[in-house]
């Protein structure tokens, strides 16, 4: 339910406090009915379906505690209760009032509105739909208005680098013009300029422009001609010098600069947190720009070659109870027809077109894995699909237990920031919001009455891990201490892993393949590891066992989850151009 669908009964005899509380909660989104005495409150509870009563303990005639006690008995748990008081602050009174009324909380006046809002959300958590930030809210909209696009971009401040394709897609599908500045967690900055929804410039602090490499790789000139021009003393850009020497057509400069822009844009999509700021400004026209049509290929390339399956699984865990709604399937097929790696497109679209939730699809036996989520992610960020209103799903308990057990294993490998899905720079408000969003899904109170003990146990463990992370990060002093411990531990962990990796290599060279396999497998089980580890892991597996069946089956067995994912599209230019000798000679040249 949305806040506007939830009715709150406010019982407060002080007119100024009652009026201000009612207005504040209304502005926050709730429907609030305010009365000043217990008799009027009792009448209202028989007429309307209230989900929460906020009751002052000191009321005329009948006390607030007595009214709340009667309300609790007559409505059981249908109406949650929060008690307030500016007079009764004795601990014994508070304890007795909570026991008599079975109230969810007792709040002493005066109190901060923000804290009251958080408390109300927490008490009503099992009823509320997750409060999505504007960026994620775009995934629930069939069409994006100019206002919703601007809000999503301007209010996005700190996100994961794998969220950037969604941000870029929102801009590419708009008429927005402005400057976006990205600051990654490793201190690297990038400036992007957009004009009417097209990317016109990407500036990064990178001395390697690869311009000469791209000219040769794309067949516009030869290595000899580039080296000859570079040997001459001249301050003009390399492209202009080649044109002057009649070694290059002028139109090639525009094409290569576009590819250079693609490489730099692709470099921003990394497995790290990014601070984002967007400012609407007038941006001049440019001959070199990237359009919406070009972005589709780029987005698919990033999803396949950069965004990890683990991240996709984490991202879609929060969307399990939302039905997937597709746009017109013929239109989707036309748009995706030229993209590689979509052999099962027809079958997947047919399944998605039934408007199932992810939990229902999983219960039906559909494998919700990397390839499936990759396609779903492309459909959603490119507005070929969206999520409908949240609904309860009939997921088999055993399947749910299995899914939650895998999630628990992953959570136990993460630090506290990763548990809450936050950047180490996250503000206190972001930390609280992340905790509340997770609590709405994983709090044990959200379990159905018929949930078995095994499901309750794994849910308790998951929520305990989430609460542990929140308790460590919600206080500024404790958060700073944890960050220090994390930095010290990370440095030590890196050294330990490097030492273990070298030991594994030594075993591999000496023919001790089983020992090498044990080490590489342990390192691979960690959330972050060396990019080349999968090669040594696969090789040690190959050396430990010989294929008893067909070579295809054997290679499939050792390569599950480790084979390099297909790379294609414009971003592959960067990989094809990685020739160290040429880079050294042409570094920084345009």
DSSP 445: G
Do 28 and 1 form a contact (C-beta atoms < 8 A)? no
Fold of 396-474: Helix Hairpins (1.10.287)
- The tokens describing 497, both together, are 């892993």
Task: Enter the CATH code of domain 3-123.
Answer: 3.40.50.2300
323 vs 354: CA distance, rounded Å:
9
Tens-of-pLDDT digits for all 590 residues of the chain?
778 889 999 999 999 999 999 999 998 889 999 999 999 999 898 877 899 999 999 888 888 999 999 998 888 778 999 999 888 777 888 899 999 999 999 998 888 888 889 899 888 877 776 667 889 999 999 999 999 999 999 999 888 899 999 999 999 989 999 999 999 877 889 999 999 999 999 998 765 556 666 777 777 777 777 777 777 777 777 777 777 777 777 777 778 788 888 888 998 998 888 899 999 999 999 888 888 888 999 999 999 999 988 889 888 988 888 899 998 899 999 999 889 888 778 888 988 888 888 888 877 766 677 788 999 999 999 999 999 987 766 556 777 788 888 889 888 888 898 888 887 877 787 788 788 778 877 888 877 777 889 999 999 999 999 999 999 998 888 888 888 888 777 667 777 888 888 898 888 888 888 898 899 888 887 756 666 787 788 888 888 864 444 444 544 444 443 433 333 333 333 333 333 333 333 433 44
Structural domain spans, the chain: 3-123, 134-305, 308-390, 396-474, 483-545
510 vs 19: CA distance, rounded Å:
80
Provide the whole-model pTM: 0.62
480 vs 208: CA distance, rounded Å:
37
344 vs 447: CA distance, rounded Å:
35
Same fold, 3-123 and 396-474: no
Distances (CA, A) of 436 to 121, 423, 432: 8, 17, 6
411 vs 494: CA distance, rounded Å:
20
Q: What is the residue-wise DSSP string for 280-340?
A: -------SS-B-HHHHHHHHHHHHHHTS-HHHHHHHHHTTTTSBEEE--HHHHHHHHTT-S
- The tokens describing 262, both together, are 């693609």
64 vs 59: CA distance, rounded Å:
5
């Amino acid at each position: 339910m949305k806040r506007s669908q939830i009715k709150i009964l406010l019982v407060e005899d002080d007119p100024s406090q009652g009026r201000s509380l009612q207005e504040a909660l209304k502005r926050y989104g709730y429907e609030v009915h305010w009365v000043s005495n217990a008799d009027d409150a009792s009448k209202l509870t028989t007429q309307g379906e209230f989900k929460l009563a906020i009751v002052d303990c000191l009321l005329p005639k009948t006390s607030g505690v007595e009214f709340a006690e009667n309300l609790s008995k007559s409505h059981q748990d249908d109406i949650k209760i929060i008690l307030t008081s500016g007079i009764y602050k004795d601990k014994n009174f508070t304890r007795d009032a909570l026991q008599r009324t079975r109230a969810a909380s007792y709040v002493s006046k005066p109190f901060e509105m923000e804290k009251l809002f958080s408390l109300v959300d927490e008490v009503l958590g099992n009823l509320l739909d997750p409060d999505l930030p504007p960026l994620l809210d775009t995934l629930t909209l069939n069409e994006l208005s100019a206002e919703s696009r601007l809000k999503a971009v301007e209010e996005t401040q700190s996100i994961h680098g794998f969220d950037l394709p969604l941000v870029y897609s929102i801009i590419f599908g708009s008429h927005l013009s402005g400057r976006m500045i990205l600051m990654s967690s490793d201190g690297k900055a990038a400036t992007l300029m957009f004009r009417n929804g097209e990317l016109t410039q990407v500036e990064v602090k990178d001395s390697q422009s690869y311009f000469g490499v791209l000219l040769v790789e794309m067949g516009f000139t030869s290595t000899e001609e580039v080296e000859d021009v570079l040997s001459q003393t001249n301050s003009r850009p390399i492209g202009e010098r080649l044109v002057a020497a009649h070694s290059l057509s002028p139109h090639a400069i525009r094409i290569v600069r576009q590819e250079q822009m693609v490489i730099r844009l692709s470099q921003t999509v990394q497995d790290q947190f990014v601070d984002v700021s967007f400012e609407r400004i007038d941006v001049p026209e440019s001959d070199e720009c990237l359009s919406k049509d070009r972005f589709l290929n780029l987005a698919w390339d990033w999803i396949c070659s950069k965004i990890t399956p683990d991240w996709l699984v984490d991202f879609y865990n929060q969307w399990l109870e939302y039905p997937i709604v597709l746009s017109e399937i013929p239109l989707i097929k036309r748009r995706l027809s030229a993209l590689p790696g979509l052999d099962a497109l027809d079958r997947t679209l047919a399944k998605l077109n039934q408007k199932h939730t992810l939990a229902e699809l999983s219960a039906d036996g559909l494998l919700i894995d990397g390839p499936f989520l990759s396609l779903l992610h492309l459909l959603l960020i490119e507005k070929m699909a969206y999520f409908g209103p949240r609904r309860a799903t009939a997921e088999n308990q055993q399947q749910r237990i299995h899914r939650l057990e895998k999630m628990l294993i992953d959570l136990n490998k993460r630090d506290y920031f990763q548990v809450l899905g936050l950047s180490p720079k996250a503000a206190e408000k972001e930390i609280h919001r992340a905790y509340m969003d997770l609590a709405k899904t994983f709090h044990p109170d959200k379990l159905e009455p018929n949930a078995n003990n095994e499901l309750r146990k794994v849910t308790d463990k998951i929520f305990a891990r989430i609460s542990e992370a929140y308790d460590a990060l919600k206080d500024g002093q404790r958060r700073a201490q944890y960050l220090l411990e994390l930095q010290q531990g990370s440095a030590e962990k890196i050294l330990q892993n490097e030492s273990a990796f070298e030991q594994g290599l030594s075993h591999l060279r000496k023919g001790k393949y089983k020992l090498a396999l044990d080490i590489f497998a342990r390192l691979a089980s960690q959330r972050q590891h060396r990019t080349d580890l999968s090669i040594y892991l696969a090789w040690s597996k190959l050396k430990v066992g010989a294929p008893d069946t067909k070579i295809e089956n054997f290679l499939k067995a050792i390569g599950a989850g480790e084979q390099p994912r297909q790379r294609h599209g414009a971003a592959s230019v960067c990989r094809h151009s990685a020739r160290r000798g040429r880079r050294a000679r042409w570094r920084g040249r345009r």
